[in-house]
Structure 1
Amino acid sequence: MTTAMEQLVAHTILQGFDAMYGRFLDVTAGAQARFEKQDWPAVHLALKKRISFYANHVGLVTSQIQIMLGERYANRDFLMGVKAAYEDLLLDYPRYEIAESFFNSVYCRIFEHRNINRDKLFVHSSQEGRLPTYPTPLTRTYFATNGTQSLFTRLFNDTPFTADWEDKTRDIGLICQRLAQTFGRAFDNNTTLELIREPFYRNKAAYLIGRITLANQQQCPFILPILTNTNGELYVDACIYDADDASIIFGFARSYFMVYAPAPAALVEFLSDLMPNKTRAELYTAIGCQKHGKTELYREFLSHLEHSDDQFVTAEGIKGMVMSVFTLPSYGFVFKIIKDKFAPQKDISHDTVKEKYKLVKEHDRVGRMADTQEYRNFSFDRARFSDALLDELLDVAPSIIDVNDDTIIIKHLYMERRMVPFNIYVDQANDDDLRHAVDEYGKAIKQLAAANIFPGDMLFKNFGVTRHRRVVFYDYDEISYMTEMNFREIPPPRYPEDEMAAEPWYSVGIYDVFPEEFRTFLLINPKIRALFNELHSDLFEASYWRQLQQNITNQQYEDVYPYAKALRFRQ
């Protein structure tokens, strides 16, 4: 039986969570206005602000509890009672799963991530699988009884947008034409469409997302990306109904959606049916509940360990100068730790590296930077590590690794989606895949730069290739804002001897970049050099980079579409 103090602390934690999630929903609710006003700077600020709420409120609740308890109650037995009281509060609570993650965060903050006992945390949910009742119906269902055109007319009339449509009739015709071309007679008056009531917002787009059921009972995801023209009018940019295309839109290298979700478990359950290849961790993270996504990722990792017996190995690819990376061959993620000492040419601190990873999480990743989850005091089974791997990790990062007979505890690490290193991929690619990969590599650099991110170290080893053949950047210790850099042309040599000298004949500042050097440092392979010259030669021109800087300064944000050009109605 819990005591009054245990119940008070449990109430305090839940009230703190309610305050946090209330602010989360308030910022999310403003997404429609930002979209319709085309206020793109505010979109980026809102994303960063919303991410900050969680840690801020965990800190506030932790301080409040420490003041309440002093030295009298702050022991682990007491917190077992608090957890029991907290479980009682969550029995009919609509956001129980995220509230459990919040409890975990407060507990870990109180004990500074030391000596954490799983029994006192929600390592597994207390209400596994419960779907809370949504305060309003999650979806609307539309029937094509009066024709498919009528279905979409009603659907568009029900959307919450207040801006005018550029040409609603045209867009409905394009959608129906695309579906009829793809599905033929199965797209008829027996078609039904179940649409999530709340639009999803990200960057410069809104997305209407649902599930279409055809006359032959085939079910597909259904996504309509909505954009705005220069007059602020709305138009449908594409019609997406392929599970892989939907998965890319919800990809791990993209910013989090803003979607109003008072009971996120029900929303995630619906999305899981649309995209069965996406895990709960990925979907919670995609809708902005990234801290609970972290909890789900850990649970998925524990489940994977129970159903596998392979040993951890060093991840494939060239070893880094700042990070050491290992993985399970059977597992789709890698574990990245910061080395105690960096290579001499890396003049940065551990705190700087962590700040770079934080920057990436808060920034618009435009589908080109992998998201990560950060963990402290991560426990592994010692038996799953070979002596060789453990010796290697202890050699590069002894300060953050504790080893005993049964467990290995790593005090700080990042988990990140595993990809094929780009340098390995291009070595093994056939001609068609190589051309696609080189084009993707150039696009990745351009899209990052347009989003105000200069990758710094653009060597092939710092990029990966996803299962959808997209090229993604994943080495963040040298990234900078584009606006900080000084892009220059190399001055002409003063004398013929200058070109033969070991040192440059011109001064080089710390933020100076000479794009024409990329050709020499990056493109050693003649075949790759020829492809890059054909597809992305503008990246060698300082004027190209300076124009991007000017666009950023003028708040001109480039359009980056999370779907193929061929899917767009406007080619």
Structure 2
Amino acid sequence: MPRGLELLIAQTILQGFDAQYGRFLEVTSGAQQRFEQADWHAVQQAMKSRIHLYDHHVGLVVEQLRCITDGKSTDANFLLRVKEHYTRLLPDYPRFEIAESFFNSVYCRLFDHRSLTPERLFIFSSQPERRFRTIPRPLAKDFFPDHGWEPLLMRILSDLPLRLPWLNKRRDIRYIIAYLAEALGEDALPRCHVQVANELFYRNKAAWLVGKLTTPDGTLPFLLPIHRTDEGELFVDTCLTTTAEASIVFGFARSYFMVYAPLPAALVEWLREILPGKTTAELYMAIGCQKHAKTESYREYLCYLAESDEKFIEAPGIRGMVMLVFTLPGFDRVFKIIKDKFAPQKEMSAAHVRACYQLVKEHDRVGRMADTQEFENFVLDKRQIDPALMALLRQEAPEKITDLGEQIVIRHLYIERRMVPLNIWLEQVEGQQLRDAIEEYGNAIRQLAAANIFPGDMLFKNFGVTRHGRVVFYDYDEICYMTEVNFRDIPPARYPEDELASEPWYSVSPGDVFPEEFRHWLCADPRIGPLFEEMHADLFRADYWRALQTRIKEGHVEDVYAYRRRQRFSVRYGAISSTVNSS
């Protein structure tokens, strides 16, 4: 290769990333207009298209590089020089951390995810940790209650960029003050102040005001979800001020926020104070930088591995028919491999399973489906693998395993947040905890269905319980759109003998689902059956599911709340409006 080509290649990669992030910001900046116009279908489409931008631009750069090199192979020294030139371009670059991830992605695409070494890739960042240059403009603005909390909140709400009128701004302010007085105490309020992010965080049908509430005892989140009525008038739906509530809002089972972030590292650092339980990977994920979040997730995994002498073991729970799942005992994530052969009753291909996982990545997860990171050629040291797990890997996925002597390479896997399997949780809890779990499970099913997702396999083992007690779906191999399912009532038996027969007395076609049958496996436990019948009996009726299908087909997009119904101001303090948007 001619000298000087290394710099050209480095510049081409960085220019490609510039183009990608420019389009990312462009799509993000349209969030305000989509919200103001209540164009909820455009919201969903923008979410999908923004996810695809990264891989699309990686592909464009790869094609450019193949033209530049004329398809000739490159030696190791040449590649090292390319990385050196690229590293020199980053010290004054505002998005250096994601630019490194983009470089990694281009390299992996060019070399089919092989030879992934620290010399060739940015396994860890080349720049000092959390390095910032001067920020062109502040990320947030401070508000002090010099003249009381009512004028303070009036300034905050009046400063918002939203161009819609308010339904009743003064009433919302009274609600916020009433809530803060309950949560903090009236005596503490005069000694508190608020810092509010300049940019709104858009997701689903809400525009979130995200801020920090500084109190005499420390800093708390200050979150206001702003909605619009059918008539296009704004209202604040609630106020959230605990780290647990904020963690759920920014949770791993939710869609990514649309927030304009030309300096994502600075925004992540600003958010860290009100989301102390979130890792760097989770914060980048929440603001839509999912590919860099994957880089950070891998770094977190490597750091944990370096400090641990644990061995990989099969994950607790009922063994899957499609996926082999393993973990490290103290690590908060699981590793999922698609088996080479599935159980006989699972009539599907590995390609179908991967398509299901991609569907979840692109769809609105409504806080009920766990996000995943996808990896290829994942290397594990044999000494860190429990012998029982190694035997299981060789038995269930030999075609996906390459033996390198002291290491193995897994051709493809997913990494996902670890949860307590719901079936195990239900065995361990009683009383109110059991009731809460069953309520959560039913709510998860309802919210998934309203978002046009049918889980397929609704067994408790396919759901997990988060550290906040939320029930989240995580087994996607039978997932499909609600609109693809034919929900049927079981026809009456022709004769008494029909109900005792081993085969049904009625025809069953592909796509047919009989909700009455759910009762057999969801209510078998005598502790659970009565609770289910009390709270979720409608899930056993085909007409309930058909009614949801009708709403979906008519174009309705349901509201998705990242908090309990009882926390809404309309429930806590009185009705807001009979015209709150649900279409």
**TM over 0.5: same fold?**
yes
Q: TM-score, normalised by structure 1?
A: 0.98
Give the equivalent residue in structure 2 for 1:526: 526
Give the equivalent residue in structure 2 for 1:310: 310
State the distance in 1 between where 2:555 and 2:75 align. Answer: 52
Give the equivalent residue in structure 2 for 1:161: 162
Counterpart contact for 1:95–1:132, Cα < 8 Å = no
State the distance in 1 between where 2:383 and 2:34 align. Answer: 52
Give the equivalent residue in structure 1 for 2:126: 126
Counterpart contact for 2:118–2:124, Cα < 8 Å = no
Counterpart contact for 2:204–2:559, Cα < 8 Å = no
State the distance in 2 between where 1:468 and 1:565 align. Answer: 16
Letter of the 2:139 partner, please give it: L
The C-alpha deviation readout for 1:105-128, integer Å capped at 9, x for no partner, is 000000011222221100011112
Letter of the 1:193 partner, please give it: V
2:37 pairs with 1:20: no
Counterpart contact for 1:368–1:471, Cα < 8 Å = yes
Counterpart contact for 1:514–1:542, Cα < 8 Å = yes
**Structure 1 residue 132, shift from structure 2 partner:** 4.1
Secondary structure of 1:408's match?
strand
Give the equivalent residue in structure 2 for 1:10: 10
Give the equivalent residue in structure 2 for 1:188: 189
2:498 pairs with 1:498: yes
Give the equivalent residue in structure 2 for 1:171: 172
Give the equivalent residue in structure 1 for 2:478: 478
Secondary structure of 2:141's match?
strand
Q: Which moved more, 1:144-153 or 1:181-190?
A: 181-190
Counterpart contact for 1:143–1:190, Cα < 8 Å = no
State the distance in 2 between where 1:46 and 1:351 align. Answer: 25
Counterpart contact for 2:464–2:473, Cα < 8 Å = yes
The C-alpha deviation readout for 1:368-422, integer Å capped at 9, x for no partner, is 1000000111112221112221111111001111223322221110000000001
- For residues 82-161 of structure 1, the aligned pairs below 5 Å read 82-127=82-127, 128-161=129-162
2:392 pairs with 1:364: no
Give the equivalent residue in structure 2 for 1:543: 543
State the distance in 1 between where 2:243 and 2:122 align. Answer: 32
Give the equivalent residue in structure 1 for 2:218: 218
Letter of the 1:157 partner, please give it: S
- For residues 415-564 of structure 1, the aligned pairs below 5 Å read 415-564=415-564
State the distance in 1 between where 2:546 and 2:450 align. Answer: 11
State the distance in 2 between where 1:163 and 1:546 align. Answer: 35
State the distance in 1 between where 2:379 and 2:187 align. Answer: 52
- For residues 30-41 of structure 1, the aligned pairs below 5 Å read 30-41=30-41
Give the equivalent residue in structure 2 for 1:202: 203
State the distance in 2 between where 1:331 and 1:75 align. Answer: 38
Give the equivalent residue in structure 1 for 2:254: 254
State the distance in 2 between where 1:464 and 1:132 align. Answer: 42
Percent identity, aligned pairs only, is 57
Counterpart contact for 1:146–1:189, Cα < 8 Å = no
Secondary structure of 1:98's match?
helix
Give the equivalent residue in structure 1 for 2:334: 334
Q: Which moved more, 1:132-141 or 1:94-103?
A: 132-141
Letter of the 1:156 partner, please give it: L
**Structure 1 residue 560, shift from structure 2 partner:** 2.1
Secondary structure of 1:225's match?
strand
**Structure 1 residue 266, shift from structure 2 partner:** 0.3
State the distance in 2 between where 1:255 and 1:186 align. Answer: 38
Counterpart contact for 1:253–1:472, Cα < 8 Å = yes
- Gap runs ≥5 in structure 2: 572-583
Q: Which moved more, 1:191-200 or 1:174-183?
A: 174-183
**Structure 1 residue 3, shift from structure 2 partner:** 4.2
Q: TM-score, normalised by structure 2?
A: 0.96
Counterpart contact for 1:144–1:151, Cα < 8 Å = yes
Counterpart contact for 1:101–1:295, Cα < 8 Å = yes
Secondary structure of 2:492's match?
coil
Letter of the 1:324 partner, please give it: L
Secondary structure of 1:189's match?
helix
Give the equivalent residue in structure 1 for 2:578: none
**Structure 1 residue 551, shift from structure 2 partner:** 0.6
Secondary structure of 1:303's match?
helix
Letter of the 2:264 partner, please give it: P
Give the equivalent residue in structure 1 for 2:394: 394
Secondary structure of 2:555's match?
coil
State the distance in 2 between where 1:134 and 1:570 align. Answer: 39
Q: Structure 1 residue runs of 4+, over 4 Å off?
A: none
State the distance in 2 between where 1:303 and 1:467 align. Answer: 22
**Structure 1 residue 497, shift from structure 2 partner:** 2.0
**Structure 1 residue 71, shift from structure 2 partner:** 4.4
State the distance in 2 between where 1:186 and 1:99 align. Answer: 48
State the distance in 2 between where 1:229 and 1:134 align. Answer: 37
The C-alpha deviation readout for 1:286-306, integer Å capped at 9, x for no partner, is 110000000000000111112
State the distance in 2 between where 1:188 and 1:519 align. Answer: 51
Letter of the 1:200 partner, please give it: F
Secondary structure of 1:254's match?
coil
State the distance in 1 between where 2:23 and 2:520 align. Answer: 50
The C-alpha deviation readout for 1:398-451, integer Å capped at 9, x for no partner, is 111122332222111000000000110001111111111111111111110010
**Structure 1 residue 307, shift from structure 2 partner:** 1.6
What is the RMSD of the two structures over their aligned residues, measured on CA atoms? 1.3
Letter of the 2:175 partner, please give it: L
**Structure 1 residue 185, shift from structure 2 partner:** 4.4
**Structure 1 residue 186, shift from structure 2 partner:** 4.9
Secondary structure of 1:498's match?
helix
